[in-house]
Amino acid sequence: MKLRFKKTLTKYLLLELISPFAIGLLIFTFVLFMQQVLRLLELVINKGVGAQVVLRMIVYIMPSFLVMTIPMAVLVATLSAFGRLSTDSEITAMKASGISLYTLCVPVLIFAAGATAMTFFFYAKALPWGNRNFRLVLYELARTKAAVALKDKVFDTSYPGLVIYIDDIDAQEVFHGVMLADTRDNNNQQVIFAETGRLISDEKQLRVILRLENGASHPKNVPNPLKYQIVEFPTLDILLSFQNNADNSPLNIEPTDRDMTISELAQQYVIVKQQVAGQIVKPDARTPADAAPWYENWRRNTKLLGGLLLDSFWPQHEQASDYLVEIHKRFSFPAACLVFGIIATPLGIQSKRSGKSGGFAMSLFLLLIYYIFIVAGESLGDNGRLPAILAVWTPNFLLGVTGAVLLVRVAKR
């Protein structure tokens, strides 16, 4: 195997890859984004949210799309570019000139490496930043809307699935005579009456809560009147949100491990693992990382990294494995760009008659296989049934080996 760097050829192939990459990135991102357009427009039309705020929210959720669509676009670009070169017999001309297939792989690896770095940045840095700021915007909107919109003797329908009526609001902003119709859960629709209530802003969890006191809950739909049940409560918390809590689509961002950086995930994994093992987690009384000598930080991080790698080969408790699986995903998803580049090169050359349309069709098939494996593996890894490294890296390994075998076979022809 000889890898030769030819400047003119490399530039030519890189230019050939850029165009389908941009088109694929736009198409895949647009498709994922369209799932959220109506909900974002609803914030503008029905909730009175300014267009500038919605644009900020779009920026914040965009990294969650790009970490998926960049590897997709690399696959489409490689298949389309080499499919076009093969259809126009340019691959044959290159082989006749003494240029091997391995030499043609150099521009692909350079391009895929750049896409890998880009995906890693979005997954490791931009995604936690975007999720955090998106929840912050929703929190501010809910808090502002609750403080302004909730008035006495007015039926408020600002929040999906909730109708709130307040008989009186005193000078201390305590609600008296609260009625609330909750239809968010179709199987448990209820009407709630409470003597008093008040708003609580949870800045740590970025939530706005309507706390009701001394009330009762009545079921809305009762097929049998003899089974009518009234549930009395001293305190009941109702989460106020601009989104339907029963909907788990990407726009409904709750605080999860995706909000954390890699270092935060590693620290949280160690804490949860110790708690599962029954160990008492004590505050770290050692020198802070920013004040410790560099060799102390290096030794501490090396020990932590070694422990994470060792644990990755064995199933962990499901409470801790979520964080370990997410750490591996921060690296496996970017590495998928390289894997897609390797397997798409021989497949693109072999599809002489398909061209760009065939490249898109084949890429969709490969993406379907990849994401079936990654979703199934992540589920088994989160449940502690598979080691994290096996759950997350199996699709990359299988497609990478398949691509390498195909590459060698096509190169020998």
Give the tens place of pLDDT for each residue, 168-216: 888 888 899 999 998 888 777 889 999 999 888 776 666 778 899 999 9
**Token pair listed for 32:** 């994922």
pTM of the predicted model, to two decimals? 0.73
The answer to whether the Cα torsion of 295, 297, 300, 303 is positive or negative is negative
Q: What is the pLDDT of residue 139?
A: 74
Question: Which SS3 state, helix, strand or coil, does residue 236 take?
Answer: strand
Residues 70 and 118 sit within 8 Å (Cβ to Cβ): yes
Under DSSP, the state recorded for 46 is T
pLDDT tens track for 218-255: 887 776 666 678 888 999 988 877 655 444 344 445 55
pLDDT greater than 60 at residue 290: no
Q: Which of 1-15, 117-131, 244-258, 298-312 comes out lowest in average pLDDT?
A: 244-258
Q: What is the DSSP string of 264-306?
A: HHHHHHHHHHHHHTT-------S--TTTS-HHHHHHHHHHHHH
Nearest to 60 by CA among 38, 35, 33, 30: 33
pLDDT band at 339 (very low <50, low <70, confident <90, very high): very high
pLDDT greater than 80 at residue 57: yes
On average, the pLDDT of the chain sits at 80
Residues 219 and 229 sit within 8 Å (Cβ to Cβ): yes
User: At a CB cut-off of 8 Å and minimum separation 6, what does 180 contact?
Assistant: 162, 163, 164, 165, 191, 192, 193, 194, 210, 212, 238
Alpha-carbon span 119 to 125, nearest angstrom? 10
Q: What is the pLDDT of residue 147?
A: 61
Residues 182 and 239 sit within 8 Å (Cβ to Cβ): no
